[in-house]
Chains A and B, each alone.
Chain A
Amino acid sequence: QKEVEQNSGPLSVPEGAIASLNCTYSDRVSQSFFWYRQYSGKSPELIMSIYSNGDKEDGRFTAQLNKASQYVSLLIRDSQPSDSATYLCAVISLNPGAGSYQLTFGKGTKLSVIP
């Protein structure tokens, strides 16, 4: 059973600080990694994707991937109250039985940015 683990939080940071969200995954051959943001009562919104080791920056967001450690993280710089949401880590792995790729989600980390 492929697993994606996240600290459920809540993670509280003051406005303007850096929020650091972490995720580990069990399948060594996972190929693609995503971060989704989900506001309460809404559907997930894709905010970052990363496919190779290292850092990927997009505005205030930086995704970091370390395949050797099976670890992916999301940094949010200059955190704003509007960033308060649950952040879902998702990993694509091959399902050999079905011959297709499946996305496995962590349970999410709830982030609260305090004004």
Chain B
Amino acid sequence: DGGITQSPKYLFRKEGQNVTLSCEQNLNHDAMYWYRQDPGQGLRLIYYSQIVNDFQKGDIAEGYSVSREKKESFPLTVTSAQKNPTAFYLCASSNAGSYNEQFFGPGTRLTVL
């Protein structure tokens, strides 16, 4: 059963804590992405990775970090430096290139208490 999984579905964090969101895909896609969505807003790109062991900052990378040690996995860490982390986080994957469609996981809803 091919797809993208994200965990956890809901996450609560105290201020000052780092948290890591998991994203795994078994679609054999080269590229993976992290987006953030705030209420009434479009998706904004945080980080993306075209190949293993390489990743680039998106439009709003400050306060976040990623790693890409395996093709299937692209975890996102929300650090304490992120000023307003409460949001819906979406992971996506695609084949590389300009014509390739991105497919999304179910998302993680992060709330800072």
| Number of A-B contacts defined by CB within 8 Å | 52
Q: In A60-115, which residues have CB < 8 Å from any B CB?
A: 88, 90, 92, 94, 98, 100-103, 105-108
Interface string of B42-61 (1 = CB under 8 A from A): 11110010100000101000
Q: Which of B40, B50, B90, B101 contacts A43 (CB 8 A)?
A: B90
Is there a chain A Cβ closer than 8 Å to B104's Cβ?
Answer: yes
Kindly provide the distance from the CB of A38 to the nearest chain B CB, expressed in whole angstroms: 9
A34-B101 in contact given A102-B45, A107-B40, A107-B41 (Cβ < 8 Å)? yes
A11 to B64, CA, bound (A): 36
Q: Interface on A for B, CB 8 Å cutoff? A: 4, 8, 31-32, 34, 36, 42-46, 49, 51, 88, 90, 92, 94, 98, 100-103, 105-108
